[in-house]
Structure 1
Amino acid sequence: MARVVMALPSENLVATVEAFCQAATTHAEATNSGEYKTANRAYANLVAALKCLEAHESTHLLRPLLHSAMIGPKLWSATYFLSRGETKAVDILNQLATRKDILGFSAQMTLREWQAGRLTFHFPA
């Protein structure tokens, strides 16, 4: 049975990408400062934005974030695309893995899990 998805106006998809960016930025900041509750809420918002974009077959709108100056959107978009088999994300994560902070470590572990075939992107219910 074919999946039916209601069309969203393009401005709603742009708002969804902006919500992804905000959530990714908040997650990175909270991770760096050890605020795990804030990071967990940001992750839930990030996943909600991804679910919406996937439902509307619009995850391609995240591609520009691979070149973002902001670490959160860059890290999370690269992680998303890596989990979808896009090898361009490897270069970006390798670059981020050189950072000497928790986000660099996150990029290292993401690559390690991907190389071991264990990277999955879980969407909580």
Structure 2
Amino acid sequence: MKIKDIETALEIFEEACIKHSEATEQGDYKTANKYYAKIIKAATFLKSENAISNLKDYLSSSFVGIRLWAACYWLAVNEQEGIEVLEEIVKSTGIHSLTAETTLSEWKKGNLKF
């Protein structure tokens, strides 16, 4: 999969976040890992094109998986906004709440780089 432009990277990011989220909820780690790789690839492309700011619109997505991943990458752009989105997810129920909580904890310890 070769990403050629920002629009394609955003489409891949969005779809992969949804699929990763669904697989995570179902406990299907193999599928989740497959889509995790696509999320990373799309985000890496966006960073290389100085286009990570395009993820801002995803911070208010109706899909928790999109909000979660966008907020993770947003931490490096606007830490406070990223934290706010992750804290909102922490207040929800389910596996994504734990993921957001762990992400915040590790970010604050300095153990994460996006």
TM-score (structure 2 length as normaliser): 0.90
Contact 1:83–1:119 under 8 Å retained in 2? no
Instruction: Give the Cα–Cα distance (whole angstroms) in 1 for the partners of residues 109 and 45 of structure 2.
Output: 29
Q: How many percent identity over aligned positions?
A: 33
* Structure 2 unaligned blocks of 5 or more: none
* Structure 1 unaligned blocks of 5 or more: 1-7
Q: What displacement does 1:84 show?
A: 4.6
2:26 maps to 33
Which of 55, 58, 62 aligns to 1:62? It is 55
Is structure 2 residue 100 aligned with structure 1 residue 120? no
Spell out structure 1 runs of 4+ moving beyond 3 A: none
User: What does 1:12-91 align with in structure 2 at a 5 Å threshold?
Assistant: 12-84=5-77, 86-91=79-84
1:4 maps to none
Richer in helix (by share): 2
Contact 2:53–2:77 under 8 Å retained in 1? no
Q: What displacement does 1:109 show?
A: 0.6
Instruction: Give the Cα–Cα distance (whole angstroms) in 2 for the partners of residues 39 and 84 of structure 1.
Output: 25
Q: What displacement does 1:83 show?
A: 4.2
Instruction: Give the Cα–Cα distance (whole angstroms) in 2 for the partners of residues 115 and 85 of structure 1.
Output: 14
